[in-house]
Structures are given as C-alpha cells and as structure tokens.
C-alpha cells in the first residue's frame, strides 16, 4: 500500500474514546498536499495510526449539520 501523507491543520473535537485508547475525532486535514477537508475517523494515541473514515468538503459538512439539526432524537 502506498504511503499516505497527511497534515492535521486543525483538531476540531473528539466524539468518543474506545477502551483500546483510540479516539473518534473530527479534524481538518490536508491529504497528500491537497486542499484541507473535514475528516471524521478513529485515531490511535498521538495520531500514529488511523482507522477508516470519511472526508467532507465545507459544503458537505454544512449539509450534514443541517440534516442532523433537523432530526428528532
């Protein structure tokens, strides 16, 4: 598998912690020197390893926010 280069531009917030020490986080990340995107995924301590996740543009994040705000919980 090819090396993936990433730069965490901004750590926005953590959503949950697993018993193994990993944290589900929302961050703003530049992947492979591209424009930063919002990223939601699990991270090992010190961001040394990552799990699968999703990346969202600013517009997609706003749309997701609107959907979540419209939900009845």
Give the number of other CB atoms < 10 A from CB of residue 55.
Answer: 15
Of 3.40.50.1100, 3.20.190.10, 2.60.40.1930, 2.30.31.70, which CATH number belongs to 6-69? 2.30.31.70
pLDDT given at position 1: 55
- pLDDT(2) > 80: no
DSSP 8-state code for residue 49 = S
**pLDDT tens-digit map of 30-68:** 999 999 999 999 999 999 999 999 999 999 999 999 999
Long-range contacts of 59-62 (CB under 8 A, 24+ apart): none
Q: Where are the domains of the chain?
A: 6-69
DSSP 16-31: EE-TTS-EEEEEEEEE
**Rounded Cα gap, residues 36 and 48, in angstroms:** 19
Burial class (CB in 10 A: 0-12, 13-18, 19+), 22: middle
């Amino acid at each position: 598998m090819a090396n993936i280069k990433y730069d965490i531009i901004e750590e926005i917030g953590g959503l949950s912690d697993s018993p193994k020490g990993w944290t589900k986080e929302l961050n703003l990340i530049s992947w492979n020197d591209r424009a930063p995107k919002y990223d939601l995924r699990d991270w090992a301590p010190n961001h040394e390893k990552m799990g699968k996740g999703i990346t969202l543009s600013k517009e997609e994040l706003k749309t997701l926010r609107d959907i979540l705000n419209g939900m009845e919980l």
